[in-house]
Structure 1
């Protein structure tokens, strides 16, 4: 008798941050400080007693929408073969196609897609990295959580030195203020404090036009940065292309895109140097496998946004240069029983079965907003 999906449980969690953080979108008045992250979790159980876990996250508004649509998706998976992952991905998307083929429609698929891949790898008694094809045992990492704009540059430097001592390999700070020269001063101070050998990235969070980005970028070229991230709007393919050709500093973008298809214009145009597509945002592992294949074709740097716990084992399957973004927010709350191992600038790729993550149920009970079960 073939395996089938017998039971699905989904949970909505609210994860508060220790202190609100602000990037350029806040400084320029487009958003308010980020205070919390919402997570929709899915636990899929099969008739033979196996269990798979997956999740999607949302910053600011939208988390309840992801969860609400996930509640509509879940019954469609009951009695299905859990190995038919691609077919089930399409089945869920077609069930909600009237609201589009990206954004929440795709992101609500993510927790189920990841849970199904988790199940498949566990059934094979492999980590997800081994299942997909491992290239790397360790992956370079950089920290972002200490580089937001609400902190003075002296605080940012202190944060950077602390996290470097804890094992991070690079530091990213936020730029994109109304006066780009203030951004340049912050970068100059950070480079002076950390020395020439520490990798530094900067992120403008879409707050410049092309002209301003060119002016700022020519100053920033002097500081040997790993990349300049989202210098212009997330959907300005031509603007990113122009900047990638005009500046010495590599251009990174892609985190705001909400489907693989939205990323195709960037890949087809080769409009960036560093691909930051986010697996949870574009629909999970099924879609991210496509990203890996296309980036290998073009020999791009692969540096997915956020979600280090998930992206770490995925980018280890990439035969090229990679970075993983270190955000310790989930670790500080203890959401997962497992922790990322970080030392000497590298994260160790886990070899636990599946995606290698399990929920800390004591913490989950404290953070849970709602839950639902389907049989």
Structure 2
């Protein structure tokens, strides 16, 4: 089996004006995604997802990465990843046994494009084998506990919002540090207190700052929230400040989670070296696809750090994240978005199997999902930014 073509389809999902609200990222007006297709000479096609600007990703794949993959055998998925990562030095890198990455491919949107191709290669490979991706990766489980992820409601409204997630059967829920009423320590404490009322004492509660705080504010907030039994404090500071995140971790009893904006195992190695991490949250469509996620899972497991994959984007990204969760031994929970995201829920012919706060693995070959006939037209790409400030 040989790869014959690599294609990118840019997609958008506008957010209706009545569903828009401001967060620390701005006001979201649409969600963008790029789906990467890897065609083969057998008629099988693999499907992957990449984060980043879809138009830029199209150019990266069309003019640089795609031609390097054509002619390769998808069964050699590790080789394909190393070829894309190391670029012109792929052969000496594989011959000598140490990485010699192309400077432009280590991080950023080129790595996101590599991640998307890698997901599609694994989908194609598993289809050819006639098994789900998580079994091709090496299955650990066929179901995993999920948490309801959202939580933007202001003030005491957080009680009903987070309580609503728990009522769906989730035994863990996550809320944003910056709500629709903006940020102050007093605001967040009030919202967390309300959320705890809504979910009761037995449901885990996580908070997510999206890297929007400085070290001192993060420490003050963490200390103010310790009595509310917080399961983790996610991205308290910028992902460029691993040392600062370590200081936050040292100052609080709340576990620290991060990783959704990190690239490859080398970024996670730096987090571990700084002692900045309790729960690793790599995004399969950013950190390097299935191939690199397996390495990140092994690395973090060796440090007794658990894995909770970031799974916020398109349906293809969520489907891939399900397979990560089923394969990684140190994965203990999976994110399930509670936001307005039709591009997750209305993309496929098949339904996700999520019942009573548990996500079940698909039993079909590959990723196990097929696009609806109208998906590419319904979610046609719209130029412009995703957020307005």
Aligned to 1:6: 4
Q: Distance in 1 between matches of 2:222 and 2:191?
A: 14
Distance 2:318 2:225 in 1: 27
Mapped partners of 1:22, 1:318: distance in 2: 35
- Give distance in 1, aligned partners of 2:301 and 2:21: 34
Give secondary structure in 2 for the equivalent of 1:136.
Answer: coil
| Partner residue, 1:159 | 161
Quote the Cα distance in structure 1 between the aligned partners of 2:103 and 2:299.
28
Root-mean-square deviation (CA, aligned residues, Å) is: 2.1
Shift of 1:334: 1.0
Corresponding residue number in structure 1 for 2:259: 254
Q: Among residues 84, 89, 92, which one is paired with 2:84 in the alignment? A: 92
Q: Give the distance between the partners of 1:321 and 1:363, measured in 2 at CA.
A: 31
Distance 1:320 1:367 in 2: 35
SS at match of 1:361: coil
Corresponding residue to 2:326 among 316, 328, 347: 316
* Structure 1 residues 63 and 22: alpha-carbon distance in aligned structure 2, compared to 1, 3 A threshold: farther
Q: What does the per-residue CA deviation read over 1:31-64, in whole Å, with 9 as the maximum and x for residues that have no partner?
A: x212222111122221122221111134xxx232
Q: Tell which deviates more after alignment, 185-194 or 80-89.
A: 80-89
Match of 1:117 among 100, 103, 122: 122
Contact persistence 2:144–2:360 (CA under 8 A)? yes
The C-alpha deviation readout for 1:112-150, integer Å capped at 9, x for no partner, is: 1111101111122111111112122221111223x12xx
Equivalent position of 2:75 in the other structure: 83
Q: Secondary structure at the match of 1:298?
A: coil
The 8 Å contact of residues 153 and 190 in structure 1, kept in 2 or not, is answered as no
2:57 alignment counterpart: 66
Q: 1:369–1:212: structure 2 CA closer, same or farther, 3 Å change rule? A: closer
Contact 1:93 1:105 in 2 (8 A): no
Aligned pairs for 1:259-278 (under 5 A) are: 259-278=264-283
Q: In the TM superposition, what are the counterparts of 1:111-260 in structure 2 within 5 Å?
A: 111-145=116-150, 147-148=151-152, 151-176=153-178, 178-260=183-265
Structure 2 alignment gaps of length 5 or more: 89-101, 312-316, 383-389
**Among 291, 298, 314, which residue is 2:296 paired with?**
291
Farther-moved stretch of structure 1 (328-337 vs 76-85): 328-337
> CA 1:249–1:362 in 2, change beyond 3 Å: closer, same or farther?
same
Deviation at 1:214, TM superposition (A): 1.4
Residues 137 and 80 of structure 1, relative CA distance in 2, 3 Å threshold: closer
35 and 144 in structure 1: CA distance in 2 versus 1, 3 angstrom threshold: farther
Matched residue count: 356
Structure 1 residues 178 and 154 mapped into 2: Cα distance closer, same or farther (>3 Å)? closer
* Pairwise CA distance, 1:211: 1.5
1:300 corresponds to 2:305: yes
Instruction: Compute the TM-score of the two structures, normalised by the length of structure 1.
Output: 0.88
SS of the aligned residue for 1:33 comes to strand
Aligned mates of 2:300, 2:86 — CA distance in 1:
27
Distance change in 2, residues 1:256/1:11 (3 Å): same
**More displaced, 155-164 or 183-192?**
155-164
Q: What's the CA shift string for 1:56-91, capped at 9, x where partnerless?
A: 134xxx232122212222233222222222222233
> After the TM superposition, which parts of structure 1 deviate over 6 Å for at least 4 consecutive aligned residues?
none
Alignment of 1:334-373 (within 5 A): 334-369=346-381
Kept in 1: contact 2:170–2:356 (CA 8 A): yes
